[in-house]
Amino acid sequence: MRSAFSFDDDKQLVQFAREYAEAGTRICWSDVEGRVRHTGHPAAALQQRLRTLMRTWGTNVRHVPPNFYTTVRPLVRRDKSTPHRNVEEMLPAGVTSLLAELTIESTDLFFDIGAGLGNIVMHVIIGTNKYKTIGTELRHDVHRVGLEIILKSSLQYERRLRERGLFVCRDVMDIGLSVALPYANATIVYWNSIWFEPHVVEYVKIQLCGMPMIRYLVCFVNLCPRHRDLCS
């Protein structure tokens, strides 16, 4: 299950929290709730979400990564009533930069947890000689659109996905990642954990600690299977 907060919601929340921090005053959650009324998040949920973000980035809101201070995109509305936000996706240049930092072998299995439209999955399949690339996405509508885009792009992409990839619509909570194949054999894992509910984050962390094949883990939480505190 993913978080009900989009990245734009998180950005607004962090930016408002920083305003209060720089003013040296306590956060007035009723004020914040009013300023983000369009998201539908009540004050209690906003307060809990900020605590979750701070567990990842520390107690000082000024230490949150710079991308939280970029412009918040306006809502796109469908049927004039239901708000829809863009699915979080890493740009191709970002994927290329990420892969350039890794020593990739032909036997590697790349796993994207929360794959969205499958952009990273396809980029890795096309741009590397990895043995296999897999991705899981919770939302059926997002997964369906992603597959449609892939199939319309090129027959070559469709063939490569069929031969070297696996892009499935599944709730990660229903997968025993540390024991279920092919997930348990993943050697490189990408996980944008800020999009997931806290209890799901904890579940995935436990599962990842039971996956001894992992060589590289790219995520947004402090995690080490051997230590509780940050490794030095």
Give the start-to-end residue ranges of the domains of the chain.
Answer: 7-64, 92-219
pTM value > 0.75: no
pLDDT value, residue 62 = 77
- Distance of alpha carbon 193 from alpha carbon 197, whole angstroms: 9
pLDDT value, residue 145 = 81
Contacts of 18 (CB under 8 A, 6+ apart): 61, 62, 64, 69
pLDDT value, residue 68 = 72
pLDDT value, residue 223 = 66
- Distance of alpha carbon 42 from alpha carbon 73, whole angstroms: 21
Low-confidence ranges of the chain (pLDDT < 50): 1-2, 74-86, 227-232
pLDDT value, residue 222 = 67
Write the DSSP symbol of residue 31: H
Write b or e for each residue in 23-35: b if 16 or more Cβ atoms lie within 10 A of its Cβ, otherwise e: eeeebebeebbee
pLDDT value, residue 178 = 93
pLDDT value, residue 82 = 38
Q: Which fold has domain 92-219?
A: Rossmann fold (3.40.50)
